[in-house]
Amino acid sequence: MVLRSEGGTGHAGIGNPAVRGHDEETIRAAVDRWLQLIESKGAERGYVDYWGKRRLAYEIRHKVEGYYVVFQARSEPAAMEELHRVLSLADEVVRHKVLRIPEKVYGPAKAAGAAAEHA
């Protein structure tokens, strides 16, 4: 997964999560657990996007595909640090990353044409 996080009361998200070998229901339950974890630390749940199964850019732990999820949240850094710790220990997570998201791009992805109109 790719996590996005901003210092202070900022924006956070998880994207490009490579979750291995589970059905969609199990993956959605795991993502919901992780969201509940950061909410218990004061985070505000944001946009969640389930990308589905995708081929990994390179083999990781003998796996060539994973289930990708992107999610965002507004939080203090401590909530994202705890999420990072939990995901680092989770067997079902192949990879993840925490990133900062600027206010202007927080939320659902916008179409290329719509982004150009607002630039």
CATH number (domain holding residue 75): 3.30.70.60
For residue 21, the SS3 value is coil
Percent of residues, the chain, with pLDDT higher than 90: 15
pTM for the full predicted model = 0.72
Q: Indicate the number of domains in the chain.
A: 1
Q: Using the predicted structure, report yes or no on whether residue 3 has a pLDDT greater than 60.
A: no
Structural domain span for residue 49: 2-118
Whole-angstrom distance, CA of residue 100 vs CA of residue 54: 24
Q: Give residue-wise pLDDT tens across range 40-50.
A: 999 998 888 88
Residue 48's Cβ-count burial label (10 Å; 0-12, 13-18, 19+) is middle
